[in-house]
Amino acid sequence: MLDKFDQQIPVSDGTTIPVRVHRPSGEGPYPMIVYYHGGAFLEGYGSIDTHDNITRSLAAQTQSVVISVGYRVAPSYTFPIAIEDSYEALLWVVEHAEELNGDPARIAVAGDSAGGNIATVVAAMARDRKGPELKAQVLLYPVTTFQEVSFPSREIYDSGYYLLSRQVMYLAREKYTPDESMWSSPYTSPLHAADLSNLPPALIITAEFDPLRDEGEAYAERLAEFGVTVEALRYKGVMHGFISFYEVMYRGRHGLDETSSFLRRAFYDKLEAQPYRLQVIDPPMGMAYVRDLIEAYAFAAYLLGKQMSTILNR
């Protein structure tokens, strides 16, 4: 059983931001996961509500307190507001661990897409600002660079048929980082950071049909070069955001299970350092693959339709 509640938490400029907490019922204290939702850093593209299914399931599967952070987004709030909100939320979680029934010695950050960028940036901020210490970082199809880098996946899968288009990527960059000088910051483009040492162990999941695939995998390789323990999984035959469809999609469920397994091992010091390799997860065979594909794209179309309806009715 899980408890669920929303509340507002203070940030340093005097305002508040929302968080949603999913918490196992029982004695605890439980490990804690601070989750940053995807959504292109833009208003109307993602929220703690759109990612509630993922955070709820992670709490249940890992027996952890999951705190989903409603960081402020563009165009009203540009870099570095989102990451400062997100780091301050992490500090708030540590400070309030006891009332959350959480263990401040077992904390991980996680996020998807834009939230994957924020999760790894917050991990770097925690290192640079001397805490808190993190057990792990989970990056699901993350944005890792705002710079103009030629990646094959950006060229091949940029149409938007795979849930993420180049147009949206450029819009996110224009609104979140309006000054070109921001693109070279290690807190926007961690792929190009000069120092990636002393970061927590990472799970990086990418999707075959995703413009962000190559930059996520390049970041996994760079982390490994700096001695960070990295597990990298590429799921074949799926598009950006596929884990959000875990209720109807086999590989979404598989990706969520792998995420939960990694976090459980990290929390209980059972991760093993191994030479870096990218593990490719093949799709199911036969009719299972066809059903998976149809259900995923039908659900994606439904979500896109809801998103467009929200935008048009503002």
d(CA 163, CA 208): 12
**Assigned token pair, 297:** 């794209």
pLDDT at 314 over 50: no
| 237: nearest Cα among 219, 258, 254, 257 | 254
Residue 31 and residue 62 in contact, taking contact as beta carbons nearer than 8 Å:
yes
pLDDT value for 187: 98
Query: Rounded to two decimals, what is the model's pTM?
Result: 0.90
Q: What is the pLDDT of residues 222-248, one digit of tens each?
A: 999 999 999 999 999 898 899 998 998
Q: Name the one residue in this structure whose structure tokens are 């290192």.
A: 127
Catalytic residue among 189, 240, 254, 260: 240
Catalytic residue among 85, 103, 210, 214: 210
- For 61, other C-beta atoms within 10 Å of its C-beta total 15
pLDDT at 140 over 50: yes
Q: Name the one residue in this structure whose structure tokens are 């070109």.
A: 180
Specify the CATH number for the domain of residue 17.
3.40.50.1820
- For 263, other C-beta atoms within 10 Å of its C-beta total 23
Q: Is 47 a catalytic residue?
A: no
Domain count, the chain: 1
Query: Residue 234: which residues within 8 A CB-CB, separation 6 or more?
Result: 205, 206, 207, 208, 213, 217, 278, 279, 280, 281
pLDDT at 93 over 80: yes
pLDDT at 146 over 70: yes
Please provide the size of the chain in residues: 314
Q: Is 210 a catalytic residue?
A: yes
- Give SS3 for 136: strand
d(CA 25, CA 300): 33
Q: Name the one residue in this structure whose structure tokens are 């093949």.
A: 282
Catalytic residue among 57, 64, 113, 244: 113
Owning domain of residue 291: 2-312
pLDDT value for 166: 66
Residue 138 and residue 199 in contact, taking contact as beta carbons nearer than 8 Å:
no
Q: Is 22 a catalytic residue?
A: no
pLDDT classification of 297: cutoffs 50, 70, 90: low
d(CA 89, CA 68): 9
Residue 135 and residue 205 in contact, taking contact as beta carbons nearer than 8 Å:
no
Most distant pair of Cα atoms in the chain: their distance: 56
Question: Measuring CA to CA, how many Å separate 228 from each of 33, 114, 213, 263, 314?
Answer: 20, 21, 20, 16, 44
Describe the strand order of the beta sheet including 202-209 as a list of residue ranges. Answer: 2-10, 16-24, 65-69, 30-36, 102-112, 136-140, 202-209, 230-239, 278-281
| 140: nearest Cα among 285, 37, 8 | 37
| 100: nearest Cα among 29, 181, 204 | 29
Residue 219 and residue 226 in contact, taking contact as beta carbons nearer than 8 Å:
no
**Assigned token pair, 136:** 């792990």
pLDDT, average across residues 305-312: 48
pLDDT value for 255: 97
